[in-house]
Amino acid sequence: MKKEEYEKSTKEIVKNLKKAQTHSAKVVKMLEEGKYCIDIMQQNMAVIGLLKLVNQQILERHLHSCFKFAMEANDEEMKNKMINEILKVNKLSGK
């Protein structure tokens, strides 16, 4: 991944995290104000959706940069470490 692409993806990830932060603050406010439960849940689902998107964006960036670099190297230990990291993250994301 080129430096420009990496920086662009960082900006996109930060933008989506800030959106999630804004929505999350709205969920807290709605709870404090005693808003209708379904409305709160819908706002919370927006936060969850944004966080899932961010996680996917970070994974894609990792695969196109760090992971790709490791797979191109002649270091089998590094390759196995990277593969195990991906498997661990994948397992955690399923919970």
* Mean pLDDT across the chain: 94
What does the pLDDT profile of the chain (95 residues) look like in tens digits? 889 999 999 999 999 999 999 999 999 999 999 999 999 999 999 999 999 999 999 999 999 999 999 999 999 999 999 999 999 998 988 76
The pTM score is 0.85
Residue type, 58: I
Sequence ranges of the domains in the chain: 3-93
Angle, helices 37-62 vs 3-32, to 10°: value is: 160
- Which one-letter DSSP state was computed for residue 95? -
Report the distance separating Cα 58 and Cα 67, nearest Å: 12
| CATH fold of 3-93 | Methane Monooxygenase Hydroxylase; Chain G, domain 1 (1.20.58)
- Which one-letter DSSP state was computed for residue 2? -
Contact 45, 14 (CB under 8 A): no
